[in-house]
Structure 1
């Protein structure tokens, strides 16, 4: 069952992003020392009280990613989550409450895509009203193993599947590690961008949303705790 036409994906109180319509994918862009990747994980993990959560993890093991979600989100339900671990680590002896699949190398985009489709279908079937949130952390890691053309086509494929299933996509990128052409090219495959920077005071950072309707303008502090 797909989300109702007037439904939207919502986020935690500390994250100043208005509900996002189904079928949308956003690029969460921020430097490595910012909380951009943590924010991307949060936007996906927030939904596991009823939604499915599918992570494509290129720079953290499935165990570390799930531990991070459980530490930062008291309501995180790993039984509603799936992880495609692209770090190449041996998972043969590991036990997970989540559905976990491994890829031996980040350059195997075909293998990632196949496992993505299988896991998405499983999570979609179990999720409330077909809600599934996808987090890819991160595009910058994948770019070290494949050329820009291949990465763009892969990103387009994922966003197309998310759109057709009325899901939510959250793809992290570190713009400081790429030239402007690369960031802009990958940005063409998504619907909008959430830019992240450091903040003074008690906030975990500041964000602003670009390219999506009905979002507040300007930089706003956010908190992930």
Structure 2
């Protein structure tokens, strides 16, 4: 989806809003992860909802080759812990307590530190995170994490289900991002904030 990348311009962190059961979310997610040639990318998934093999299967559904390097941080028990042999040994990290934001931040830092080339990160999802921590705690975590990723030169996107939250919560989260991609109405609605800070 080249036009999506063009619309997003230089946005480094993006809020991807889509109802949990909406169609097409996986395709847009993979498009946001594909910032350059697949074989050169370093891709990290932070998943509250899917297993490592599910994350990788979505990538493989769109690309002929695996990313140059990848990692999956599986948070909590709901995403499952299976590793069916399709995922490289050592690529999967587990955080059993979803409210362990420090642990998540450390694992993300370990993945991005010292990497060269394009780093892309998917956090799925803030809606799941907000089941375990309050909005203020989530805000502080996302603020710190997006700063960490920006410093590493990474492009990141964070999933949220706008139908699961009130407008104030969505607006609070939106304030942390350079851009948003909203799939709520079945169309792709892209909004950017200029100048990027």
TM-score by length of 1: 0.74
Q: Deviations over 1:89-147 (max 9, x none)?
A: 4458866227211111211111111101001125x24xxxx310111111111110111
Gap change, CA 1:189 and 1:59, over 3 Å in 2? same
Q: Distance in 1 between matches of 2:141 and 2:24?
A: 22
1:31 aligns with 2:19: yes
1:184 aligns with 2:171: yes
Aligned to 1:96: 87
Give the unaligned 5+ runs of structure 1. Answer: 1-11, 200-205, 215-225
Aligned to 2:129: 142
The answer (yes or no) to whether the contact 1:55–1:84 under 8 Å persists in 2 is yes
The answer (yes or no) to whether the contact 1:44–1:133 under 8 Å persists in 2 is yes
Aligned length: 189
How many angstroms does 1:17 deviate by? 3.4
Aligned to 2:50: 60
Q: Deviations over 1:184-212 (max 9, x none)?
A: 1111111111111354xxxxxx2121124
SS in 2 for 1:96: coil
Bigger Cα displacement from structure 2, 90-99 vs 188-197 = 90-99
How many angstroms does 1:67 deviate by? 1.5
The answer (yes or no) to whether the contact 1:136–1:171 under 8 Å persists in 2 is yes
The answer (yes or no) to whether the contact 1:78–1:97 under 8 Å persists in 2 is no
TM-score by length of 2: 0.84
Aligned to 2:151: 164
The answer (yes or no) to whether the contact 1:139–1:173 under 8 Å persists in 2 is yes
How many angstroms does 1:42 deviate by? 3.1
Gap change, CA 1:16 and 1:92, over 3 Å in 2? closer
Q: Distance in 2 between matches of 1:92 and 1:168?
A: 26
Aligned to 1:197: 184
The alignment's C-alpha RMSD in Å is: 2.5
Q: Distance in 1 between matches of 2:184 and 2:25?
A: 12
Q: Between Structure 1 and Structure 2, whose CA radius of gyration is higher?
A: 1
The answer (yes or no) to whether the contact 1:54–1:82 under 8 Å persists in 2 is yes
How many angstroms does 1:78 deviate by? 4.4
1:133 aligns with 2:120: yes
Aligned to 1:209: 190
Aligned to 2:64: 75
